[in-house]
Amino acid sequence: MTETPHRPLSPHLQVWRWHVTMAASILHRVSGVGLAVGMLLVVVWLACLKAGPEAYAGFAAVSGSWFGLIIWIGVSWAAFYHLASGIRHLIWDTGVGFSLGAANALSWASIGFSIGGTAVFWFLLMRAGVLS
Amino acid sequence: MTSPHVKTSEMTGAWIWIKERASALVLLPLMLWALVAGATLAGLDHAETLAWLAQPVNAMLVAVGILVGVYHLHLGLRAIIEDYLHGSTGKLVLMLNLLGCLALAGAGLAFVILIALAQAPAGA
């Protein structure tokens, strides 16, 4: 292996014309990092559950505050997006969906599903009266 | 066989690719379940949440979700780190990623087990 330490490194975001597959790819990473935050919150949730009723009430209060709700809405969007976008990748892995039209459609579908899924998820929670 | 200017993914990329997909397939139904579980748990108090986690199927799925989820998380963060950080900084952050993920999975699993043990009837 010849060493070429000064070769260009990918990706050079600024030289690309914006397109939806690029946005969907970036969002896949963004939502993945968002789910890292979500996993951290799950472990904090378990820690508070173990610590007792007082700690758990504190966790629930922060979760239900406007700040907590923004975080949880973000995490739920990340879950819906990463799920849909992940399926998009699994479809590509089978060797289909690589035409420009199909790739764009799959990417738009992932974005649409994540917005719709998050909206329905929180609508159902609010209708159940959980967030009053 | 290794060179300082070759990314891990260029040496063992196919195996990592398979591990990413295998864990993704396991996580697909688990993530749907997690969304339902999250909606179920929203608004529950401490005792109600403990009762939910006392059901073996819930405790089991939380534990498997943490294990496979953190495994997949480690692979994903590693791919991002390898793209943007190089040299000794990259190596350090890759190490922190591994240690952080091990700590996260270990702590999560430990809490699930400790909660289950605390709830087990005396003498069982």
B11-17 LR contacts (CB < 8 Å, sep 24+): B16/B75
Reported as a single tens digit per residue, the pLDDT across A86-117 is 999 999 999 999 999 999 999 999 999 999 99
How far apart, in Å, do the first and last CA atoms of chain A sit? 62
ipTM of this complex prediction, to 2 decimal places: 0.89
Reported as a single tens digit per residue, the pLDDT across A41-94 is 999 999 999 999 999 999 999 999 999 999 999 999 999 999 999 999 999 999
For the cut 90, the answer to whether the pLDDT of residue A11 exceeds it is: no
Q: Which residues of chain A neighbour B21 with C-beta distances below 8 Å? A: 90, 93
Q: Is A26 in the B-facing interface, judged by CB distances under 8 Å? A: no
CA distance A14 to A111: 22
Helix (H) or strand (E) holding B14: helix B8-41
Cβ density class A19-48: b for 16+ within 10 Å, e for less: eeeeebbebbbebbebbbebbbbbbebbbb
Nearest CB to A56; choose among B32, B43, B49: B49
| Touching B: A residues 101-120, CB under 8 Å | none
Give the residue-averaged pLDDT of A30-41: 98
pTM: 0.89
Share of chain B above pLDDT 70, in %: 88
Six-digit token string for A127: 């209708």
Distances, alpha carbon A35 to alpha carbons A56, A109, A117, B6, in Å: 22, 20, 16, 28
- Residue A100 backbone class (left: φ over 0; alpha: ψ -120 to 50; beta: rest): alpha
Reported as a single tens digit per residue, the pLDDT across B46-70 is 999 999 999 999 999 999 999 999 9
Q: Torsion angle, CA of A98/A100/A106/A110, rounded to 10 degrees?
A: 120
- In terms of DSSP H, where are the helices of chain A? 20-51, 53-64, 66-93, 100-127
Q: Which residues of chain A neighbour B70 with C-beta distances below 8 Å? A: 39
Q: Which residues of chain B neighbour A128 with C-beta distances below 8 Å? A: 39
